[in-house]
A and B are shown apart, each in its own frame.
Chain A
């Protein structure tokens, strides 16, 4: 068996409203907000990047899990905005949380699902007794070209999960659905991702998320009503709501994990932050389905049952953290994103 031993989340405190971005580009904020179901997004501080966000999330996970970081045998950081093209973020995290030197570490990239791919590897290493604990992080300071549709959602944040044999939530199973689908990409050296616009919907996000969810439920013989909570990758607020409806989930099952409307799309952090927000409120016995999505394209689905151990676990209170925020205007946003350098 493999289980979540602890989790930690971090989202920078700066926010920019959709209205403010729309004002600059002469767009109608109301139709963008209602179209995307996103109202504001997080913005990294000028000294924040995927490494600092990963470290913040990792520290919180270790603190709340109350484990010895030296016992972490693997750290994987999934991101599409690693600060270095060559030189791992994972080693920075490992050093910062004092997990070095007896561990394996690597950076992953699979668009927005690299973090959950890391989780799957940690599960495998734990189950095969190669390591005691593994840490998987999904974090991003998401890139979007100024003026592009992505700019309304591309946000910053991340979550870290510690995987071990026993913990606050058992991971009953995980499956993946993967194809070669070029819906969203960024070539080496390019500052911003390109995307296929509406092609990123039906043949990309919906196809993969729905197939992964169905595969998992078919394998386990479960149905939507068996789950107390559902988390689907959140490129915007609308897609996870629509996919939930299509699969037969109700709104109340996805509400707790739906952070995108207030923080935007944290790319690799998105579905993992959603899961963290659910664990903040879940009870012993709660069953959770999580489906990530990474462009290119694939989805990882997880079936999770919360254990009694959650009762004594000091939860982070992610929604509380998100209340501490400061709004910035577009020029400040551009400065913080270092667009003027």
Chain B
């Protein structure tokens, strides 16, 4: 298996991009990444594009060739694959891209993620997102993602004494970080009081505990490590890429205070990278709801199970903390265009590891971890990147 590096990244601004279509988002992020990598279109060997529900959000499936057409590479008849794994579509696309390069099949691989979510109104976005849960046993009975994560939060609060204020502190931290990210959807700092006073969505989750509906796209370009030097001096290596799955339904799980697939993906990734949780300098985790970040930092082994709320309160995950988490603002503040999120996390890590994160730069960051979750934990992807 060959070692794999990331030689280019690109990302649109995240937000309600009323005047940009899916196609334009893909083009914008793609062009940025190609310019960043300094490659020619003709050098690209394959393309993977993560998109959760383009068919229902914009009535467009078959987005692999759409990306090829947008890139103007139809004459190469580029092999393009659309990857779907709900909110982990981007992360799984990264995993596929990694495998393609590592296997020796392709050299230069473009991995993208994109979602255009604001073209639907009413409860439609919530309904589309609910298709990432078990339609037959969950969604049909009315449970939505805020509902599912509210159950998880209630259980965590009951079992470990996690408080609503601690949940809110995740949002406060991520909004603070997002305020320094020019591409974030929300750049407004908020207080614990703001979170607690915002409308209740699903008890105990308030509006500001939830990630938003977002349009956006992100791209990363992969190459074998041995030729990466040709393109860049600031090489970021993919030290591990691990995917793990579980039951589709939440009620089918073995435990409810954790996402076992994430625990397993993390275990595999740490093993592959030959590191331990304490070696991680910063992490981008899947904070689709504030409780999700608390559970994530436990599942990743940064803190003991049940201590995530307390650790957040004590500043472990703050920008100047021991393990800064979601320096980009996370899904909460940066925005969550579902299919793009996994690749956007990689964008943030690469910027941090290259020392290009500006105001929110984590000092001496060498090892970064990305944790991307699909549904209520049916899919989990963990990537570990290293600056070399």
Q: How distant is the Cα of A199 from the Cα of B18 in the complex, in angstroms?
A: 7
- A199 pairs with B121, CB closer than 8 A: yes
Taking the complex as formed, is A180 at the interface, i.e. its CB lies under 8 A from any CB of chain B?
no
Instruction: Please indicate which of the listed interface residues B121, B198, B200 has the most CB atoms of chain A within 10 Å of its own CB.
Output: B121
Scan residues 133-171 of chain A and give those whose CB is less than 8 A from a CB of chain B.
Answer: none
Whether A202 pairs with B18 at a CB distance below 8 angstroms is yes
The answer to whether B200 and A199 have CB atoms under 8 Å apart is no
Contact (A27, B118) CB under 8 Å given A199-B18, A202-B18, A203-B18: no
Instruction: Tell me if A's interface is mostly helix, strand, loop or mixed.
Output: helix
Complex Cα distance, B199 from A27, in Å, reads 8
- Name the interface residues of A210-258: CB closer than 8 Å to any CB of B: none
Instruction: Knowing A195-B121, A196-B121, A197-B121 are in contact, say whether A202-B16 is a contact too (CB < 8 A).
Output: yes
Contact residues, B1-30 vs A (CB, 8 A): 16, 18-19
- The answer to whether B121 touches A28, judged by C-beta atoms less than 8 angstroms apart, is no
Alpha-carbon distance between A182 and B198 when the two chains are bound, in angstroms: 29
Bits for B360-386, please: 1 = Cβ < 8 Å to A, else 0.
Answer: 000000000000000000000000000
Q: A28 and B18 in contact (CB under 8 A), knowing A196-B121, A199-B118?
A: no
Residues of A within 8 A of B198 (CB): 31
A320 at the interface (CB under 8 A from B): no
Q: Tell me which of A28, A194, A195, A197 contacts B200 (CB under 8 A).
A: A28
Contact B121 A31 (CB under 8 A): no
Given contacts A27-B199, A199-B18, A203-B18, 16 further A-B contacts (CB under 8 A): A28-B199, A28-B200, A31-B197, A31-B198, A31-B199, A194-B121, A195-B121, A196-B121, A197-B121, A197-B122, A198-B16, A198-B118, A199-B118, A199-B121, A202-B16, A202-B18
* Nearest B residue to A203, CB-CB: B18
Question: Which 9 interchain pairs have the tightest Cβ spacing?
Answer: A203-B18, A31-B199, A197-B121, A28-B199, A196-B121, A198-B16, A199-B18, A28-B200, A202-B18
Set of chain A residues within 8 Å of B122, measured between Cβ atoms: 197
A203 contacts which chain B residues (CB < 8 A)? 18-19
A27–B16 alpha-carbon span in the complex (Å): 25
In the bound complex, CA of A27 to CA of B198 (Å): 12
Residues of B at under 8 Å CB distance from A?
16, 18-19, 118, 121-122, 197-200
- Give the residue name and chain of the B residue nearest to A195 (CB): B121
Q: Once bound together, how far apart are the Cα atoms of A16 and B16, in whole Å?
A: 33
Query: In this complex, what residue of B is CB-closest to A207?
Result: B18
Residues of chain A touching chain B, judged by Cβ–Cβ distance below 8 Å, are 27-28, 31, 194-199, 202-203
In the complex, residue of chain B having the shortest beta-carbon distance to the beta carbon of A35 = B199
A223 to chain B, nearest CB (A): 28
- Chain A residues whose C-beta falls within 8 Å of the C-beta of B121 in the assembled complex: 194-197, 199
Closest residue to A197 on the B side, CB-wise?
B121
Cα(A141)–Cα(B329), bound, Å:
44
The docked-state distance in angstroms from the alpha carbon of A197 to that of B19 is 16
What is the bound-complex CA distance between A25 and B58, given in angstroms?
Answer: 30
Residues from chain B with a CB closer than 8 A to the CB of A197 are 121-122
Provide the bound-state CA to CA distance between A216 and B122, in Å. 36
> Could you write out 15 A-B pairs with CB less than 8 Å apart?
A27-B199, A28-B200, A31-B197, A31-B198, A31-B199, A194-B121, A195-B121, A196-B121, A197-B121, A197-B122, A198-B16, A198-B118, A202-B16, A203-B18, A203-B19
Bound Cα distance A31, B207 (Å): 11
Q: A211 to chain B: closest CB distance in Å?
A: 14
Which partner residue on chain B sits nearest A30 by CB separation?
A: B197
Q: Taking the nearest CB of chain B, how far is it from the CB of A312, in angstroms?
A: 49
Chain B contacts for A195, CB-based, 8 A: 121
CB distance from A137 to the nearest CB of B (A): 31
Shortest C-beta distance, B370 to chain A (Å), equals 29
Determine how close the nearest CB of chain B comes to the CB of A152; give it in whole angstroms.
13
Would you give the shortest CB distance from B369 to chain A, in whole angstroms?
33
Chain A minimum-CB-distance residue to B198? A31
Of residues A27, A195, A196, A203, which shows the largest number of chain B Cβ atoms within 10 Å of its Cβ?
A: A196
Q: How far apart are A23's CB and chain B's nearest CB, in angstroms?
A: 15
A28–B198 Cα distance when bound, in Å, is: 9
Determine the chain A residues whose CB is within 8 A of the CB of B118 once the complex forms. Answer: 198-199
Output the nearest chain A residue to B16 by Cβ-Cβ distance. A198
CB of B116, distance to nearest CB on chain A (Å): 13
Distance of B201 from chain A, by nearest CB (Å):
11
Name B200's closest neighbour in chain A (CB-CB): A28
Question: How far, in whole Å, are A195 and B16 apart by their CA atoms in the complex?
Answer: 16
Alpha-carbon distance A195/B18, docked complex (angstroms): 15
Contacts of A199 in B (CB 8 A): 16, 18, 118, 121
Q: Which residue of A lies closest to B19 (CB)?
A: A203
Closest Cβ–Cβ distance, residue A108 to chain B (whole Å): 27
Whole-angstrom distance between the alpha carbons of A194 and B124 in the complex?
A: 14
Residues in A whose Cβ lies below 8 Å from that of B16: 198-199, 202
Within the complex, what minimum Cβ distance (angstroms) separates B260 from chain A? 35
> For residue A194, which residue of chain B has the nearest CB?
B121
**Closest chain B residue to A34, Cβ basis:** B197
Kindly list chain B residues whose C-beta atoms are within 8 Å of the C-beta of A198: 16, 118
Q: Find chain B residues with CB under 8 A from A31 CB.
A: 197-199
With a cutoff of 8 Å between Cβ atoms, the chain A residues found around residue B199 in the complex are 27-28, 31
Rounded to whole angstroms, the CA-CA distance of A203 and B19 in the bound complex is 8
Q: Which residue of B lies closest to A31 (CB)?
A: B199
B197 (CB) vs chain A CBs: closest residue: A31
Which residues of B sit under 8 angstroms from A194, Cβ to Cβ?
Answer: 121
Q: How far is the CB of A238 from chain B (nearest CB, A)?
A: 15
A198 to B118, CA, bound (A): 9
